[in-house]
Amino acid sequence: MTATDADMTAADVVWDLAPLLPDTPDDRGLSELLDAADARAEDLARTRGQVAELDAGGLASFMNEMAELLDLVGRAGSYAGLDFATDTTDPARGARMQRVEERATAIQTRLLFFELEWAELPDERVDELLADERLAFARHHLRSERRYRPHLLTEPEEVILTEKALSGRSAWERLFEEQVSTISVELDGGITTLEAALARLHAPDREVRRTAAEAITSGLEPGLRTRAFVMNTLLSDKAVDDRLRHFDTWIQSRNLANEAGDASVEALVDAVQSRNSIAQRWYALKARLLGIDRLADYDRMASVAEVEAHIGWQSAKELVLDAYGSFSGELADTAQRFFDGAWIDAAARPGKRPGAFCAYTVPSHHPYVLLNWTSRRRDVLTLAHELGHGLHAFLARGQGIFHQSTPLTLAETASVFGETVTFGRLLEEVTDPNERLALLASNLEDQIATVFRQIAMNRFEHSIHTERRDTGELSVERLGDLWTASQADMLGDSVEITEGYRTWWSYIPHFIGTPGYVYAYAYGQLLALSVYAQYEARGPEFVPQYLDLLRAGGSMAPEELGRLVDVDLADPGFWDRGLDIIERRLDETVAAAEASGRLS
């Protein structure tokens, strides 16, 4: 392989997980971490039955010990999980991850008493304890944990549910992940990965897109019924869990975890659905740009560029660093560390988990980014997006293990912001009308996918959870019906949904691993666009406020975090203002299309 080939495929860009472990390799290092965590758990367990008697100093000491234990378990879990993500077909990696999860679960069950005893304390006593500055490092965590009070079971019941999860929900999730990672697609007389095949849906040539879509549908067929059975099993499992914990709806537990009120989430969903015309208007325009009467589902992501641009890894790296540097030198310098420190695994290869993500690991270490690089311009924005997550994680390390992470609803803020800054940098350099149109269209489509498509997927989840509870197991055919209906509500008459597309729900991991997750993308996108609008209006003076938001991590409630950047999440009109920003981007894209001369 030549240097140019390596740069285009990012073949040499692999992460180094070894620093997560002590100075001993793999299994021995993992055992050392977990043995040390076991010993700390034994010490902490001596507090059983005495939580109500702790004063502020005693509680602070307990939580500091707990933080150190979580660091040990987090390092072991991060190493095993990230190593497995690079090759989910390797039995040794799978077995190692399972061993770590089993030991971590055993440790967790020994400490369940604390959550239950803490929940039983009177509010007055909790307020008194948390007023002490020695508990500032865990204050929001401890206070927010009490929101689960109505949904906790007895300690023996909690232990049973926790331990059985390994051979229940977790096992089914792993089976699904392994199934999806081994999906192969036959194209051009050869075999390629699902990720590479999906990338072809961006091709300017419609025949390439149609052929890729048909091949993907064929590739999804083997194991489809197994994946449907996994889905049904987990839908039932969640229904049982919700019933035992007295959650009224399938989404309530997710909203609680996100520190989002049921009414506010419903308002988000309603606001987006009421503006589906934005997506439909774009897809109608796109059909004209592509010279076809009506888009098919496989045309939705097609590039409107006349030639599909490719970009090498080194060029992408320089572009993203320059974009971050145009906003903040501190962010650019921190992003550089991801490249220099082998914190990124970018090459697409068989068995590797599809998609992209950032793993926070633990505050005493650093984050890692996984990508599947295919050298498309969209991959540049994915790199900027995941680095945004990484920068958020890195800057929030000072908050410690209890407050580093935000709820899912705010987790996309830095990633979307970074992607938007990078997009703005790209747009500044473009003078050719056709290239400007291609860039605007690509950005608009990303926003539509993140807001409108994710809410459509939320509606799919709503329908399958509800129907599974009301009528029982769902067939592959019924899952296809519900998937198609949710997509049709968003697309209207602007896009034809083909027969093959009915099974494309079956490779999406969020439905399996984090039910209810997807609306957080829309929430985060609209929030991040509002934050970026502040930057556009105020310029460099806004930068310190934004960095303060990142450093705050999850140390405050979402509404308090929003106030750091002058955003009012409690305002009923908030969602519509975010949607107005997307509609303005649509108007810009229409103007660019007219300026390009491509509209008849």
User: What single-letter DSSP state applies at residue 310?
Assistant: B
pLDDT tens-digit series, residues 225-281: 999 999 999 999 999 999 999 999 999 999 999 998 898 899 999 999 999 999 999
Contact call for residues 519 and 455 (beta carbons, < 8 A): yes
Q: For the chain, what is the radius of gyration of the CA atoms?
A: 24
Contact call for residues 449 and 416 (beta carbons, < 8 A): no
Distance from C-alpha of 498 to C-alpha of 501, rounded to nearest angstrom: 5
The whole-number pLDDT of residue 2 equals 47
Residue spans of the domains in the chain: they are 267-302+412-600
Distance from C-alpha of 49 to C-alpha of 566, rounded to nearest angstrom: 44
Contact call for residues 290 and 206 (beta carbons, < 8 A): yes
Distance from C-alpha of 298 to C-alpha of 286, rounded to nearest angstrom: 13
Amino acid in position 452: F
The whole-number pLDDT of residue 308 equals 64
Contact call for residues 105 and 76 (beta carbons, < 8 A): no
- How buried is residue 433: exposed, middle or buried, by Cβ count under 10 Å (0-12/13-18/19+)? middle
Distance from C-alpha of 560 to C-alpha of 490, rounded to nearest angstrom: 32
Cα torsion angle, 118, 120, 121, 124, sign: positive
The whole-number pLDDT of residue 440 equals 92
Sequence-ordered alpha helix ranges (H) in 87-154: 91-110, 112-120, 123-130, 139-145
**In 3-state terms, what secondary structure has residue 184?**
strand
User: What single-letter DSSP state applies at residue 293?
Assistant: S
Any bridge partners for residue 295, and if so which? 495
Here the tokens at position 379 are: 């991959």
The whole-number pLDDT of residue 298 equals 97
What predicted TM-score, i.e. pTM, was given to this entire model?
Answer: 0.84
* Residues of the chain where predicted confidence (pLDDT) is lower than 70: 1-5, 307-308, 600
The whole-number pLDDT of residue 365 equals 97
Distance from C-alpha of 426 to C-alpha of 142, rounded to nearest angstrom: 43
Distance from C-alpha of 566 to C-alpha of 98, rounded to nearest angstrom: 44
Beta pairing, strands 295-296 & 495-496: parallel
Here the tokens at position 440 are: 């605007």
**In 3-state terms, what secondary structure has residue 376?**
strand
Ordered DSSP codes for 275-327: TTHHHHHHHHHHHHHHT-SSEEGGGTT---SSS--B--HHHHHHHHHHHHHHH
The whole-number pLDDT of residue 4 equals 60
Residue 291's CB: how many other CB atoms inside 10 A?
A: 9
Fold of 267-302+412-600: Neurolysin; domain 3 (1.10.1370)
Closest CA to 445 of 331, 290, 218, 293: 290
